[in-house]
Amino acid sequence: MLLLLPLLAGLLSPISPAEAKRVLDITEKNLASVVGTKTLALVLFYSPGCQPCVEVLSVMQRLALSHSVSHPDVKFGRIDIRQEPVLAMRFHADEVPVLKAFPHSSTPITFYGEVTEEALVKFLRGLRLQSAVKAGLTRSGESLYGGASLETATDDGGAADEGDSANPWTTGATVVVNASSYASVILDNETNAMLALYTPECGEPCAVYEKIADVFRHEGHHVVFGRADVTREPQLARFFQAQRNPTLLWFPRGDKNNIVRYGGDVDLHEIVGFINDMTGSHRQPDGKLEPGAGRVAQIERLLRDRAADLVLGRNLQQLSEEVAQAASDLPHSKRYVFYYQRLLRQLMKGSPIDRVLERENAAIDQLLNGGSGGGIGGGSKMSRAERDEAHKLHNIISGVVDIIVDHLQGERQSAEAAAVAEKRRLMEEQQKRLHEEGESAGDEEEFTEQAEAVKATKEEL
């Protein structure tokens, strides 16, 4: 085993030893020296023999080499989870490879997405702002909006007071963000976030932004809306190269390094539509749910194609697997796809489709009308967000009912059409037979009367 260690070490250090030294081996003993209060650290959790770990480490080593001169305050390290199981457990690194950033030895932030040098640079760029502020490395800067320097603006030119009639921040739906709170508010990977960078002269566009935040207030923690007055937080304005007033930035859940700069008009309808597209939400500009909210078109198309299986209770396991496969391409709708799967699981237990839908519909109606059950809470005790979720489940059931009804109607129409076609065929055969019999009997008058009767029957059909 000892003879294999040099080989494994070489496997995990695919470039030169000089470059490899840029990525430090971290243990419990030296953790504090790497993840320090004055540094930002990027740490790879790996295990020997893991080929994806080798590839990630190679990218990380090149990045460490390029950053060693330009950003000496950023450190790079790696932790072997087999040699350091306590650290692996402490930082929830049960799978490898995992990249985590440690800003000032605070709660680590996990990197999500494809590991490339460009992606890691964007990731670190977002975190370095917090590092620079806490390390006291802020610099004075020029105004991006004209007039006095943003860095030296006085309180008189700062954010409007709460009692100011021009203050657009009246609903409490937005969160104040500064350089110190930026990471905790905006970079939380469990939520989507939008950040508005503005000056006190923003006026109506900021009022629109506040309305948008209020529209999505009942999405719970699904979307966080932050705002930063750049006359008080010039570091943020410089870092994000703010040009518009307000500058709107979107930070997607689970992929905070992939920042989207909103470039459309600051319009209530347009931005609500933008956020619905980014999150899978179903909000209207008045804050109410869209008709059909919760229904997933891709899943309903799949169920519609397999409606006969739903009605007859056949091939349900295969159908459930196809729904699960479709869900992998629908990250914003997974919680609703799960409900479709719940319905299928009940069908697999042998319950008829009409009984399952009736039971589910009754349970949700009971919740919405003040009853108890289901873990959502009952009636008046339900929050707005909970009631919205219940309405979405109700819409899903309605969608499945529509699929079943359309299928049964189609089957009935097909059966009726088949019966008409059969009658038409019989009439045509009878007409042909009468024609032949009429010719052979030579009784043209009787033949004509019978043929006309058959023709009238066909027209009636």
Q: What is the CA radius of gyration of the chain?
A: 33
Higher pLDDT, 62 or 70: 62
Q: Which of 76-85, 301-310, 394-403, 405-414 has the lowest mean pLDDT?
A: 405-414
- In sequence order, the β-bridge partners of residue 248 are 196
Measured distance CA(404)–CA(402) in Å, rounded: 5
Measured distance CA(129)–CA(236) in Å, rounded: 8
Q: Long-range contacts: 401-407, Cβ < 8 Å, 24+? A: 401/357, 403/300, 403/303, 403/304, 403/307, 403/310, 404/307, 404/310, 404/311, 404/353, 404/354, 404/357, 406/304, 406/307, 407/304, 407/307, 407/308, 407/310, 407/311
Sign of CA dihedral 223, 229, 234, 240: positive
- In sequence order, the β-bridge partners of residue 101 are 42, 109
Measured distance CA(172)–CA(175) in Å, rounded: 8
Burial of 151 (0-12, 13-18, 19+ CB in 10 A): middle
pLDDT recorded at residue 386: 75
Measured distance CA(39)–CA(22) in Å, rounded: 15
Q: Which DSSP helix (H) or strand (E) runs through 185? A: helix 182-186
pLDDT recorded at residue 187: 86
Helix and strand numbers (H, E) in the chain are: 17, 10
What are the φ and ψ backbone dihedral angles of 91, each rounded to 5 degrees?
A: -105, 15
Q: Is the pLDDT of residue 82 over 70?
A: yes
pLDDT recorded at residue 439: 57
Q: Which of 371-375, 405-409, 456-460 has the lowest mean pLDDT?
A: 371-375
The token pair at 319 is 């159908």
pLDDT recorded at residue 374: 42
Contact 205, 175 (CB under 8 A): no
pLDDT recorded at residue 258: 82
pLDDT recorded at residue 376: 39
Mean pLDDT of the chain: 74
Q: Which of 186-195, 377-386, 404-413 has the lowest mean pLDDT?
A: 377-386
Measured distance CA(102)–CA(45) in Å, rounded: 13
What is the identity of the amino acid at 97? Answer: P
425-450 pLDDT, tens digit per residue, is 777 777 677 666 665 555 555 555 65
Strand runs (DSSP E) across 318-436, as ranges? none
**Average pLDDT of the residues in 46-69:** 86
> pTM of the full predicted structure?
0.52
Higher pLDDT, 62 or 149: 62
Burial 370-401 (b: 16+ CB within 10 A, else e): eeeeeebebeeebeeebbbbbbbbbbbbebbe
Shortest CA distance to 278 belongs to which of 291, 267, 262?
A: 262
**Average pLDDT of the residues in 249-271:** 88
Measured distance CA(123)–CA(258) in Å, rounded: 8
The token pair at 445 is 């008058």
- Residue 11: pLDDT band by 50, 70, 90 thresholds? very low
Q: Which DSSP helix (H) or strand (E) runs through 355? A: helix 353-368
Residue with the two structure tokens 């030893």: 17
